[in-house]
C-alpha cells in the first residue's frame, strides 16, 4: 500500500501542471446517507453576513471570548506537555470531576465521574454518538418540530428515521408577543406517533429556536410516554445555564421521578463558557445508557481536545465558588431586553424566550420590494430564506430562517419567522438595533 502510494505520487510528479489541469477530475458516487444533504443554513448565512458586512445575529456564536479564568486555564494547559496529548476517551478526569461537582446538585444525585459522565466533541457529537450507539436501520426517533437542524442528519446517518411531532404556538402569536412557554406539545399527538420501531424521544430545553423551557408537568407527560413504550430520552440541554426570571430553577427530566434510568442529558461548554468553537460537550446519564454512546464515540473521535477540556474544567470549578452563571444570565437578560425593544417599537410580534439566546420574530408585516432579485439557490428553500437574505443584504442585520428547523413539507409553517441571536456585545446589539429601525418604512 505504502509502495503503491509512492508510485502514484511519483507518476503524478511526472505530469506537468498544465497537463494536470486538463485532466477531468474523477467523479465518485457519494454515499446515499449524505448525497441529498442541502447546503446547511449556517454556511449560507454566516458567509453572507461577512461578505455584506451585516451584523451577524444569525448563527448563535458569541463575539466575546470565554471568561478570563477559562482563557487562562487554556493557555496554561497548552504550556503543559501532557495536556496536549490524548486524553482518556471518557474525558479528562479533571473535567469529569468538575462536571460531577457542578451537576450532582442539578440532578439531585451524586454523579459518578467514572461511569455516568462522558466528555464529547461538542454537544453535537454527544448526540451523534448516542444515535450511533442505539439506532439500527429503521429505528424511529421522535423529534419535536421545530428542531435544531443537526438532529436530522445525525439520526439518518445512523440508519434512523426521524418522526416529527409539532410544538405549536397559539393563534394570537401572529399579532402579539407571546412567551415561549405558550408553544405547546400535545401529548396525545406524541403518543400517536409511537410505533413498535420507536426507540427514542429527543427533547430540547431550553429550546432552539423557540427558547421554551419545558416545565415539570410537561416533562412528566413526555417521560410517562417514554416509560409506557420503554423509550430512551435524549435531552439536549446545551442552554441549561441560560434561563431567565421568573424561572428560578431549570427543570431537568432526568431529575424527575424514575426518568433518570432512561435519559441521557447533553450539555455544552461552548454555550456555558462562550467557547462554541472548542467543541467540548458532555453526556450525563446512567452507566447502562452511557456505555454504548461511549463505545461509538471511541470509534469516531477516540478522545476530545485535551487543553480545552482542562479549561472548561477550570470554568466549572470556578463556578462552584463564583457567580459566573448568575452574572452571565444577568448580562443576557439585558441583551434580550435591548433586542426585544426594537421589535416592540417596530410592532413586530415575537416569542420572548424563557431560555437560550434567540428571539423568533414574526416578519409577516415586512414587505420587501416585489421586484427584489434573489439568488437562484434561495428559490429552492422556504420563503423565510428570502426574507432573511433581504434583511442581511439591505437592512444589514443577519437572521436565520427557521424553516431550516422544519421538514420540507412543513417549511410554510416557518415562512413568517426569522430568528435573531442576542449573544453579542452591547455595542454590536446597539448597532443592530439602529439598523433594524430602518425596517419601519417596509412595515405595513
Ligand atoms: N447552535 C448554534 C445556532 O443554532 C450554531 C449551530 C451551528 O452552527 N451548527 O445558531
pLDDT score, position 230 = 98
**Consecutive 10-residue averages of pLDDT for the chain (444 residues):** 37 48 82 90 96 97 98 98 98 98 98 98 98 98 98 98 97 96 98 98 98 98 98 98 97 97 98 98 98 97 98 98 97 98 98 98 97 95 97 98 97 97 98 98 95
416/364 Cα distance (integer angstroms):
5
Indicate if ligand 1 lies below 6 Å from the C-beta of 133.
Answer: no
Closest ligand 1 atom to the C-alpha of 60?
10
| C-alpha to C-alpha distance for 444 and 366, rounded to whole angstroms | 6
Domain 36-60+324-442 and domain 68-319 have a common topology: no
Q: Distance, CA 3 to ligand 1 centroid (Å)?
A: 43
The minimum-distance atom of ligand 1 relative to the CA of 42 is 8
The C-alpha torsion from 290 through 292 and 295 to 299, rounded to 10°, is -110
Say how far apart CA 256 and CA 341 lie, in whole Å.
Answer: 36
Q: Is 281 in the pocket of ligand 1 (CB under 6 A)?
A: no
- Ligand 1 atom nearest to CA at 421: 10
Q: What is the pTM of this model?
A: 0.93
CB atoms within 10 A of CB 18: 7
C-alpha cell belonging to residue 271: 454555550
Q: Is 60 in the pocket of ligand 1 (CB under 6 A)?
A: yes
Half-sphere exposure in the Cβ direction for 399 (13 Å, CA)? 31
Question: Which numbered atom of ligand 1 lies nearest the CA of 59?
Answer: 10
For residue 268, how far is its CA from the centre of ligand 1 (angstroms)?
Answer: 12
What is the reported pLDDT for 38? 84
Nearest to 425 by CA among 352, 342, 339: 339
pLDDT at 21: 58
SS3 162: strand
Ligand 1: residue of 41, 42, 49, 153 to mutate (most ligand atoms within 8 A of CB) is 42
**What per-residue confidence (pLDDT) applies to 10?**
38
Q: What is the DSSP letter of 354?
A: S
Please give the C-alpha separations between residue 441 and each of 167, 267, 290, 369, in angstroms, as whole numbers.
33, 42, 54, 11
Name the phi and psi angles at 123, rounded to 5.
-65, -35
Q: Render 59-105 in DSSP notation, one character per residue.
A: S---SS---HHHHHHHHHHHHSGGGGSPPPTT--HHHHHHHHHHHHH
**d(C-alpha 180, C-alpha 351), whole Å:** 6
Q: Are strands 358-362 and 417-421 parallel, antiparallel or unpaired?
A: antiparallel
Q: Which pLDDT belongs to residue 15? A: 46
Q: Where are the domains of the chain?
A: 36-60+324-442, 68-319
Looking at the CA of residue 238, tell me the nearest atom of ligand 1.
1
Residue partners of 67: CB distance under 8 A and separation at least 6: 273, 274, 315, 318, 324
User: 60 C-alpha vs ligand 1 centroid, how far in Å?
Assistant: 5
Q: How remote is the CA of residue 61 from the centroid of ligand 1, in Å?
A: 7
Residue 374 Cβ inside 6 Å of ligand 1? The answer reads no
Residue 42 Cα to ligand 1 midpoint, Å, equals 7
Distance 149 CA to ligand 1 centre (A): 9
Q: Residue 287: is it exposed, middle or buried by C-beta count within 10 angstroms (0-12/13-18/19+)?
A: exposed
Can the peptide bond before residue 334 be classed as cis, meaning omega within 30 degrees of 0? no
Q: Which CATH architecture fits 68-319?
A: 3-Layer(aba) Sandwich (3.40)
Q: Which atom of ligand 1 is nearest to the CA of 40?
A: 9
Give the Cα separation of 140 and 202 in Å (integer).
11
Q: What is the CA radius of gyration of the chain?
A: 23
Helix 287-298 to helix 122-134 angle, to the nearest 10 degrees?
100
CATH number assigned to the domain with residue range 36-60+324-442, chosen from the 4 options 3.40.50.360, 3.40.50.2300, 3.30.530.20, 3.90.1150.10: 3.90.1150.10
Q: In this structure, which residue's CA is closest to atom 5 in ligand 1?
A: 60
Most ligand 1 atoms within 8 A of CB, residue of 38, 40, 61, 269 to mutate: 61
Q: At residue 293, what are phi and psi to the nearest 5 degrees?
A: -65, -40
208 lines ligand 1 (CB under 6 A): yes
Which residue's alpha carbon is at the smallest distance from atom 4 of ligand 1?
Answer: 60
Residue 59: CB within 6 Å of ligand 1? Answer: yes
Distance 309 CA to ligand 1 centre (A): 21
> Which pLDDT value is given to residue 25?
83
Report CA(25)–ligand 1 centroid distance (Å).
Answer: 33
What is the CA angle 313-330-236, rounded to 5?
55
Cell of 106: 442539578
Ligand 1 touching residue 206 (CB < 6 A): no
Amino acid at each position: 500500500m505504502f509502495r503503491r502510494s509512492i508510485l502514484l505520487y511519483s507518476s503524478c510528479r511526472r505530469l506537468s501542471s498544465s497537463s494536470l489541469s486538463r485532466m477531468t477530475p474523477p467523479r465518485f458516487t457519494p454515499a446515499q446517507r449524505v448525497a441529498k444533504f442541502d447546503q446547511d443554513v449556517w454556511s449560507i448565512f454566516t458567509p453572507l453576513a461577512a461578505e455584506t458586512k451585516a451584523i451577524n445575529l444569525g448563527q448563535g456564536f458569541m463575539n466575546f471570548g470565554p471568561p478570563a479564568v477559562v482563557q487562562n486555564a487554556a493557555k496554561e494547559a497548552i504550556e503543559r506537555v501532557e495536556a496536549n496529548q490524548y486524553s482518556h476517551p471518557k474525558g479528562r478526569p479533571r473535567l469529569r470531576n468538575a462536571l460531577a461537582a457542578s451537576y450532582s446538585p442539578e440532578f439531585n444525585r451524586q454523579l459518578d465521574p467514572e461511569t455516568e459522565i462522558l466528555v464529547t466533541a461538542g454537544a453535537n457529537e454527544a448526540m451523534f454518538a448516542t444515535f450511533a450507539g442505539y439506532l439500527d436501520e429503521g429505528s424511529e426517533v421522535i423529534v419535536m418540530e421545530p428542531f435544531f437542524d443537526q438532529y436530522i442528519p445525525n439520526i439518518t446517518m445512523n440508519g434512523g428515521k426521524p418522526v416529527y411531532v409539532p410544538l405549536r404556538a397559539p393563534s394570537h402569536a401572529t399579532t402579539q408577543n407571546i412567551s415561549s412557554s405558550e408553544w405547546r406539545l400535545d401529548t396525545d399527538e406524541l403518543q400517536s406517533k409511537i410505533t413498535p420501531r420507536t426507540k427514542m424521544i429527543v427533547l430540547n430545553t431550553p429550546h432552539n429556536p423557540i427558547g421554551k423551557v419545558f416545565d415539570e408537568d410537561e416533562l412528566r407527560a413526555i417521560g410517562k410516554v417514554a416509560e409506557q413504550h420503554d423509550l430512551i430520552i435524549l435531552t439536549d440541554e446545551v442552554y441549561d445555564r441560560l434561563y431567565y426570571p421568573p424561572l428560578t430553577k431549570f427543570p431537568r427530566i432526568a431529575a424527575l421521578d424514575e426518568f433518570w434510568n432512561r435519559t441521557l442529558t447533553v450539555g455544552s461548554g461552548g454555550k456555558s463558557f462562550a467557547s462554541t468553537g472548542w467543541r467540548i460537550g458532555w453526556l450525563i446519564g446512567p452507566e447502562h445508557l452511557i456505555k454504548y454512546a461511549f463505545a461509538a464515540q471511541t470509534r469516531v473521535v477516540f478522545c476530545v481536545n485535551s487543553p480545552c477540556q482542562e479549561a472548561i474544567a477550570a470554568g466549572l470549578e470556578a463556578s462552584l465558588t463564583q457567580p459566573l452563571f448568575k452574572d452571565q444570565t444577568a448580562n443576557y437578560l439585558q441583551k434580550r431586553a435591548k433586542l426585544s425593544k426594537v421589535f416592540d417599537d417596530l410592532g413586530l410580534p415575537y416569542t420572548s424566550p424563557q431560555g437560550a439566546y434567540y428571539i423568533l420574530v414574526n416578519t409577516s408585516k415586512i414587505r420587501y420590494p416585489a421586484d427584489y432579485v434573489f439568488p437562484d439557490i434561495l428559490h429552492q428553500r422556504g420563503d423565510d430564506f428570502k426574507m432573511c437574505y433581504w434583511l442581511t443584504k439591505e437592512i444589514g442585520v443577519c437572521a436565520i430562517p427557521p424553516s431550516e428547523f422544519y421538514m420540507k413539507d412543513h417549511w410554510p409553517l416557518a415562512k413568517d419567522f426569522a430568528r435573531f441571536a442576542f449573544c453579542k456585545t452591547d455595542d454590536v446589539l446597539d448597532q443592530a438595533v439602529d439598523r433594524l429601525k430602518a425596517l419601519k418604512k417596509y412595515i405595513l
